Amino acid sequence: MCGLAGVARLDGQDLGPEFDALLNDFADLLHHRGPDERELLRSGPVGLAFTRLSLVDPQDGTQPLVSDDGNLVLIANGEVYNHKELAAGLPSDVRLKTGSDCEVLLYLYRQHGLDFLRDVRGMFAIVLWDRARGQLVLARDRFGIKPLYYHRTDERIVLSSEIKGLFADPATPRRFAWDKALALPALAAAPRFSAEQMCTWFEGVESVPAASVLRVDLRDGRTTEHRYWELPTEADESTSAEGFIERYGDLLEASIRDCATADSELGLFLSGGIDSSIVLALARTQVEDIHTFTVLSGGTHANGDAEHASWLSRLWGVHNHQVLFEPDLTPTPEEWRRLVWLTESPMVGPEVYYKHELHRFARQVRPELRGMLLGAASDEFNGGYSDGMSDDWPSFLAGLTGMNRTTHFDRLPGLRHWWGEDESFLSDDALDSLGRTRSADVYASYVLSEYRKIQQYNVWHEDRTAAGSGVEARVPFLDHRIVELTSSIPEHLRPRLLWDKRILRDAVGSRLPQRIAERPKGPFFYGSGTHHAYGMLVRLMNGNGQELVERALAAPGADAYLDAGVIRRRLSDFADGTSDSPSVELLTRIINMGLLAEMVTSAPQLESMNAGTVRSELRVQSDPVADTQQLFEPRRSHDLDGVPVSAKGLLLLSHDSGDWYLANDGQIEFVLEPDSPIVRVLQRIDGTATLATVLSEARVELTAVEEELDTLVDQRLILFVA
């Protein structure tokens, strides 16, 4: 991982020495991305700043890299995994001067022009100066894993790996893009397909598109865009289900082998799920004495992540650091502001916070660690969310069809007039045509939406949370060959291969314990432990006299877009810090927007902001769930004279099967067995009888339902009044 920045004139003029200070400022702002080395170059119309994190060829990989004839100059961030293979295919007269994996890009460009990335495997952002043609070439990998942003005027263009770097240039606007941000469905967690265009959150800031090459003429500013890769749309009808499974396993093994190659120490985030576990299974044979890192929080305690990660690491004899996030842990307002500024996105929540803290811990205990292997971005392309969204493949497709229809209505709201009594009078084909998508394959549309989503959220925050600690995040599941394979699965094989990640489970099942290979997908912090994470957010927003809220409401533009009264009133609804409502996270995103709008006006340096104390490690002797039971799920001393009261909106529903369902605000929270003692207790809670009376009438001992009562109280489905 490295930091890239630069400035170039677009009017045929040279940069003067007055730009040297700007180049130095670029390097200062991106120091965290490349703490090992920095280089500056100013020549003709171009100035470049480069900060380096050394993973490959630490002794001989300095940039900028220059071609043998001096005509091409390159700075690059990322890794070219197949650089040796590509170098072997270069003309015989080419002699590479360094061991850098990126040097080969110079000669691929000289040989193939704008198609030079066609056969490159890896993750990268590239700034290449073609002196002879007077052109600047900007490019990114197929999934946008490595970032690159720019702002341009008629006279010049400025570039940076992170948006904050652009603000070193006085010509870059310093305004949060309220209108664009609020119009993005993903920010409001709306069930829509992802927007086609990336939102950079700031006015005047643009992102180099993923899988694309931009060519900028430095004489007149003319710009052309060349897309070198697209998601496949053709189905492979010649391959059987077994053939797809075998090919998937081979490609994943090759990708993990690529990502686990480095000349410096690599670690791994281990959740105990199938994704990170298979990365560990294959990487541990290649990475000597690998250290793994796991979040131990109320959520991962409840959903089993911490337990499974600990169990697997003991089974295989690898180091596992269980990083403790205590139940009452709350970041300070300053720590949260720094995290939001580091990530440059309002989509900062518990997941981003936990990963950021995990990286900080990893670098503290392993100072030589430079790269982190992740199991991220597996679910998006192999059906990982199908089981959680529906009961079977047909209902999953029906749900996607509904999301697709709603997305069309957003684009052409007039079509809603043809919707009557829960059904549309218009065919889905008509909606596709009028919505100008013309896609008859709703699953393919969904995959394209996921492709866009990972750029806006997943790889964005994975890059920043790692970069903040001088670490490079590596994502084996985002090898384009794997995604091409799953995208080419024909419709008749999708239920077999893409329901509940079957292709992955079958491909790697022999390499993992069955307990891990068949473990159901569990969200990172959502589910039974959500209240722990949401409680943290509520305490954060209420902290220090609601400092973050007041700063956000006072930010430029906030008064025009936000209703301060509603925000304060809504926060007061969560004042006890135990709500499970998704509104907690949405309110946090609103506050994050205001914080970005405030901070961009002064563009603070990360080094001047307090990151707080690095988390500590729990020394687990046997089972992290048992060892932390009292910490995360302490037994309550229930007052038998207290009166249990059902939460507003809580309903106990029966089913013909005999099962009972506990629903809250229309959403089923628990399925209960017909003869479960807690059912008899819930049937007798009327808001007037004491707990002793309820238990007596139900003929149930407190010990028989104590655990269930604890859970219901923790999730505020049952309240007690004196």
For residue 64, whether the previous peptide bond is cis, meaning omega lies within 30 degrees of 0, is: yes
Judged on CB neighbours under 10 Å (0-12, 13-18, 19+), 648 is exposed
Report the alpha-carbon distance of residue 671 to residue 423 in Å, rounded.
Answer: 30
Report the alpha-carbon distance of residue 455 to residue 461 in Å, rounded.
Answer: 9
| Cα 472 versus chain centre, distance | 14
Collapsing DSSP states into helix, strand and coil, what is residue 511? helix
Q: What is the DSSP string of 117-159?
A: TTT--EEEEEEEEETTTTEEEEEE-TT--S--EEEE-SSEEEE
Residues in contact with 41: Cβ distance below 8 Å, sequence separation at least 6, in sequence order: 47, 48, 50, 64, 73
Phi then psi dihedrals of residue 295, to 5 deg: -75, 125
Residues in contact with 238: Cβ distance below 8 Å, sequence separation at least 6, in sequence order: none
CA-closest candidate to residue 137, choices 50, 45, 218: 218
Give the neighbor-by-neighbor strand order of the sheet with 156-160: 37-43, 46-52, 2-9, 156-160, 149-152, 206-207
259 is catalytic: no
Residues in contact with 464: Cβ distance below 8 Å, sequence separation at least 6, in sequence order: 162, 342, 343, 344, 345
Phi then psi dihedrals of residue 51, to 5 deg: -120, 140
Report the alpha-carbon distance of residue 527 to residue 312 in Å, rounded.
Answer: 22
**Contact by Cβ (8 Å): 453, 228:** no
Residues in contact with 193: Cβ distance below 8 Å, sequence separation at least 6, in sequence order: 403, 404, 407, 445, 446, 448, 449
Q: In the block, which residue shows the tokens 């337990």?
A: 307
CA-closest candidate to residue 382, choices 270, 307, 457, 478: 478
Q: One of 2, 102, 199, 259 is an active-site residue; which one?
A: 2
Which residues are designated catalytic? 2
